[in-house]
Amino acid sequence: MTEAIQVENLTKVYPTPGKQKGFLAVDQINFCVHQGEVFGFLGPNGAGKSTTQRMLTSLLTPTEGSIHIFVHDLAHDAYDAKLVIGMVPEESNVYTELSAWDNLIFCAQLHQLPKQTRQKRAKELLETFGLWEKRHDKAENFSKGMRRRLSIAMAIIHYPKLLFLDEPTSGLDAHSTHIIHDLIRKLNADGATIFLTTHHIEEANQLCDRVAIINYGKIAAIDTPERLKSAFQQVQSVEVSLHTREESSLPSNLEHSLNSLSNVSTIVKNGDKWRLYTQNPSALLPEIINYAGQNQLQIISLNTLAPSLEDVYLQITGGQIGVVQPNQKDANTPQRKRGNR
């Protein structure tokens, strides 16, 4: 199988003024992205996602290691590699002073599309992305979702074989997110390899054939979402919703009581439900039923849940399952400093 991306011992150390040792943002990572797959690149803020993506797109010079885009060595043959890639950055980088049409035509010129092809392609993309009616409007008057769609259209105008998407749905409403997810699926179905950088776990779960989780500059895990989940069976859980039989309120010590059941390792309240993490759901279920019976509580719903990709992600990146992590940003402060470069 042809590899769309092949990365070997990729390292990035940012020079730090006044210090002999720089800041290590990416540390000897190795991975490959197969042609035709949607590859998710997950990680917390400052983990090295953007740095890696910028190196893969030739925007940043690696300190060490090699990158091959298809057969092209990025260090020596960047021109040919650039011909086959497209990039959608996290912030939509459209020219706000230009119309949607002019933005697309400019990008088509940058990728050497012949005049007739570029006009045909621009029309086709504006129609696909629902921007045809607004083609003569300046992009400064566009909503965030419209700019994002235009930004994606600009990145794919030259039919790239490899498309880099950095947080493509960040800050978008559900409708725009849905449109962009459909577009990613369609682009992939049309043959494009997609490198999706995201910290939206569910997005990666829905869209990606394989995911890599990067943490503190190192690849912590890389596999298909389902195989990653199956490797973390210890984070299975039971979700239960309880009500009182009468109109009285639930006991104040309910959470404490559920947490003290013998098979519960962690408990998290999600709205009107409790999620009880366990290594043995089949033993926990009768415990919950007994507890409810003894305390005159009615079970509204009771479900066993396999580990989600989010659970896997949190396990790998060191976050506590289901718990809001006020200190996580602080813990990553040194890396976040360079995170968006």
82 contributes a contact to other proteins by CB under 8 A: yes
Nearest to other proteins of 281, 339 (CB atom) = 339
Q: 57: alpha, beta or left, given left = phi > 0 and alpha = psi -120 to 50?
A: alpha
Show the beta-strand stretches assigned E in the chain: 3-14, 23-34, 38-42, 64-69, 72-73, 85-88, 162-166, 193-198, 210-215, 218-223, 236-244, 266-270, 273-278, 297-305
Per-residue interface string for the shown chain with other proteins, residues 186-225, x marking contact by CB under 8 A: ----------------------------------------
54 contributes a contact to other proteins by CB under 8 A: yes
CA 303 from centre of chain: 27
Residue from 32, 75, 98, 268 touching other proteins (CB under 8 A): that is 98
110 contributes a contact to other proteins by CB under 8 A: yes
Backbone φ and ψ of 179, nearest 5°: -60, -45
93 contributes a contact to other proteins by CB under 8 A: yes
Q: How far is the CB of 80 from other proteins (least distance, A)?
A: 8
Q: Which residues does 321 contact at the CB level (< 8 Å), separation at least 6?
A: 235, 266, 268, 277, 311, 314, 315
121 contributes a contact to other proteins by CB under 8 A: no
Nearest to other proteins of 60, 258 (CB atom) = 60
- Continuous H helices in 112-173: 115-128, 144-156
83 contributes a contact to other proteins by CB under 8 A: yes
Residues that bind other proteins (CB under 8 A): 14-15, 51, 54, 57-61, 79-80, 82-83, 85, 87, 89, 91-95, 97-98, 102, 106-107, 109-112, 154, 338, 341
